[in-house]
Amino acid sequence: MNVILAPSQKALTPHLEIRGGRRLEGEIRVSGAKNSALVLMAACLLSSDDLKLRNMPALSDIQGMGEILESLGVTMNRGEGFVELNASGINQSSPPYELVNGLRASFFCIGPLLARTGVARVPLPGGCQIGARPVVEHVKGLKALGAQVTIEHGVVSAVVPGRGHRLTGGKIHLDCPSVGATETLMMAAALADGETTIDNAAQEPEVVDLAGLIIAMGGKVRGAGTPTITIVGMERLHGADYMVIPDRIEAGTLLLAGAITRSKLRITPLIPEHLGAVLSKLEEAGCTLESDGIGMTISADRVRAVDLRTQPFPGFPTDLQAPFMSLLATAEGTSVITEAIFENRLQHVAELQRMGAAIRTQGNTAFIEGVPFLSGAPVTGSDLRASAAMVLAGLAAEGTTLVQGLQHLDRGYDRLEEKLRSVGASIARHDVG
C-alpha cells in the first residue's frame, strides 16, 4: 500500500524518503563512538602535544566540537576517519555562546581547560531537548578539587585560586552516576596535585575509553568501568595516537534494523559487553544472535513483546529506548517501556502513532500493543534517537515514509542511509521537498 501525500504533507525541509517492507541482507560497518569521540577531543586540552584520534565518525557534532576547540586556540587537522589536535596555543578560557549553545558535549571543555590553565568560563550546555541535563554534579566535583565556581547568566565560571593555579586531588561522591560529570572530573583530576577518588562513578564504556586515552597520554587511572575511579594527577601529560571504540548505540540501532525488517544482518565491529542489556532483550524478543569475535549476526523471524526499563550502564541504555520501541510496535503481544533517565524522552510516541502504532502512555511509561504492520507517513524526529526510531519504523512500514529532523539524525549517525542502502533498503536523502 503506497501512501499518497497531499501537497501540504510533502516535506519542505531536508528529509529521508523510505520505501518500506524490504528485507535486508549483508554486512554493515559501525563507526566510531560519537559519545566517546567528543570527550576524547576535549581531552586534547590536557596537553600541549599532538593528539591523534582514529576511527572518528563523520558527524555534525564532531564538526561542532572542532569549531569550539579552535575558538580556544586549538589547531585541528581532519582526514578520512581521523582528527589531529594540538592545544599548545590555547589563548581563550571561554568558548563563544553561539558555538556551544546547540552542543551539550561542549561542557566537557570545562574540566581540562580549568586543569590546564586555572580558569574556564563555559555556557550551560544545549543539545537535544529530551529533559534536564543538570551540571550540579560537575560543579560540586570541581569545587571538591579546589576550584571556585559560580553560575551567572547561564555561564559557569571556574577559577583555581592560589599562585600555582593547580587543582588539588580530593574525594568526590556523585549523587547520581552521571557520565558527563564522571568524564569532566576525570579530566580535571588528571592534572591535579595528588590523588582523586570518584565514588558512584558512571560505568559506561565511554568512561573506560577516556581512561584509556588519559593513560595513553601518560596519566594514571584505576577502576574505570567500576563505581570507584582513582586518578593520580600528573604535572603534565604528553600526546597520543588513540583509536576510538565502536559506537554501541549505532551498533544497537543497526541490530534493530535487522530485527524490525525480519532480516539477517551482520554488524561489525561490535563489542558484546557494551550491549549486554540490549542483546538480552533482543534474544528475549525471539531474535537469534551469533557473535564471531569481531561482529555479530542477527536473524529475526517472529518478534515477541518484551518489557524494559532504561537504566545507567550496564542497564538498558536510554539512547536505544526510542529505536527499540519501533521494533516493539511490530511485535506480538503487549510491551511496557519505562523511561527512567530523561523525563521528556517519549516524544516519538506520537510520530509512531501516525504510522499506525498502538501505543498509550502514562507518565514516563509506554504501553505498546504490537500491530501486524506499520503504514508509511510523514514523520519528524524530535531528537537524535527519535529520528533513528523513525527511520527504523520506515524500513518496516508498508508504503512510503518521509522522515524529517535530519539535523538531529546527522548529529549521531555517520551516513546512516548509505549504510542501510548497501544492504538493500530503499532510502534516499532529499535536500528539498
Q: Which residues are catalytic?
A: 128
In this structure, how many other beta carbons lie within 10 angstroms of the beta carbon of residue 351? 25
**Conformational region of residue 108, where left means phi above 0, alpha means psi within -120 to 50, and beta covers everything else:** alpha
- If we measure between CA atoms, which residue out of 267, 273, 218, 278 comes closest to residue 242? 218
- What is the number of helices (H) and of strands (E) in the chain? 14, 23
- What grid cell was written down for 329? 510496535
CB 84 within 8 A of CB 76: yes
- How would you class 431 by CB atoms within 10 Å of its CB: exposed for 0-12, middle for 13-18, buried for 19 or more? exposed
Instruction: Please tell me the distance from the alpha carbon of residue 266 to that of residue 295, in angstroms, as a whole number.
Output: 7
Asked if 21 and 210 touch (Cβ cutoff 8 Å), the reply is no
Q: What angle do CA 298, 303, 306 make, to 5 degrees?
A: 105
**Residue 181 and residue 208 in contact, taking contact as beta carbons nearer than 8 Å:** no
C-alpha cell recorded at residue 25 = 541482507
User: Which uninterrupted H or E stretch holds 241?
Assistant: strand 240-243
CA distance 190 to 51: 16
Question: Environment class of residue 353 by beta-carbon count within 10 Å: exposed (0-12), middle (13-18) or buried (19+)?
Answer: middle
Distance (Å, whole) CA 51 – CA 53: 7
DSSP conformation letters of 321-334: HHHHHHHHTTSBSE
Asked if the bond preceding 95 is cis, omega within 30° of 0, the reply is no
